[in-house]
Amino acid sequence: MVTPWLLLTGWLIREDSPKLFRESLVASIPVAIALQILTSFVLTASPDAAHYQYFVLLVVLFTTTVQRLPFRYAAIVCGIILACHAAAVMASPLMSWPIASVAVTTLAVTAYLTLLSNYYLERDGRRAYLHALRDRLRHQEAELASKHDPLTDLANRRYLAVRAAELWQKGDAASPVAVVMIDIDHFKAFNDHYGHVVGDACIKRVAACVRAELRSGDDLAVRYGGEELLVLLPKTEAGDAIRLAERIRRSIESLGIPHEGRGTVSTVTASCGVAAGPVSAISEAELIAAADAALYAAKRNGRNQVWPPLLRAAADGELGANVTIIGRR
């Protein structure tokens, strides 16, 4: 009875089978074993058969402690086995009613105690899983918080240092890299006039414009400090970086955020400084310093512009070293 069913069960169970189907087939195995024992007990005429029915106890123990079926399935299996066992021993002429009652009671108590153990083990296993999941999520949240600025949802300077270290240590030495420094024009006057809440909202909208213009997952937008943002552009020539900076500048201007902080009606704008060069020819600190110098040049030349201008960069051959020199003039 049991061996053919075991073989058939093994053949029927597949990884893509529905969970209910798989669990039901697995749960049917102890039922088949118990039915084999009880069938032999009912059909035999041996005077020693009265003791054979106690092997059903081992099936119950196997189901709830070794096989470790889910509690719901284990309870159903034990209920079926208990019902079949009670019917078999009560109907058997080999056992008196008092002995049959003791046998049924013993099996019922065994099933109850082992099912209780199964329930607590399953509950503790779920709790352990949920606690581990909670700890993993907290770790991920902490790691995310350590890399991102909470106001703008851009990367912070700590993560910039990590990405830059990877780029300069593991990247292609001949590969170009560019940095765009972005600063909101006259932001102190804007903040003083409208207040910090509106100022924070302005920074968030500007940051969203910057993030929307990123080209791929390699580009990194960073809140560098206060209202100053930075974009790190691996594998990017100076001309492409200036074009990206110009798109960012226009996108910020098109927001049309009112700016009356200087006594005149205008809108929020931003100035951008760009520097680029091969990874092997310039360090991270030098590249950021060059972009910062270019940013101040943009501010000195009237703000709301990208420095160096694209035509000036093209005239210099779009080389990172030339862009850096332009930025320092």
- The answer for 58, left when phi > 0, alpha when psi is -120 to 50, beta otherwise, is alpha
Is-catalytic flag, 318? no
Find out whether 254 and 243 touch, Cβ atoms under 8 Å.
no
According to DSSP, residue 148 is labeled: B
According to DSSP, residue 184 is labeled: E
Helix (H, G, I), strand (E, B) or coil at 230: strand
Q: Where are the alpha helices (DSSP H) in 13-96?
A: 19-43, 55-61, 71-91
Find out whether 312 and 297 touch, Cβ atoms under 8 Å.
no
Q: Look at residues 228, 245, 248 and name the one whose alpha carbon lies nearest to residue 236.
A: 245
Q: Exposure pattern of 163-200 as b/e (b: 16+ CB <10 Å)?
A: bbeebbeeeeeeebbbbbbbbbbbbeebbebbeeeebe
Measured between alpha carbons, how far is residue 18 from residues 6, 12, 24, 77, 206 in Å?
A: 19, 11, 10, 19, 50
Show the tokens assigned to 150.
């909470």
Q: Could you tell me which residues come within 8 angstroms of residue 171 by beta carbon, excluding any fewer than 6 positions away?
A: 177, 234, 279
Instruction: Check 143, 166, 227, 286 and give the catalytic one.
Output: 227
Show the tokens assigned to 311.
């035509």
Helix or strand (DSSP H, E) at 258? strand 258-259
CA-to-CA distance for 68 and 71, rounded, in angstroms?
8
According to DSSP, residue 93 is labeled: T
Tell me the catalytic residues: 227
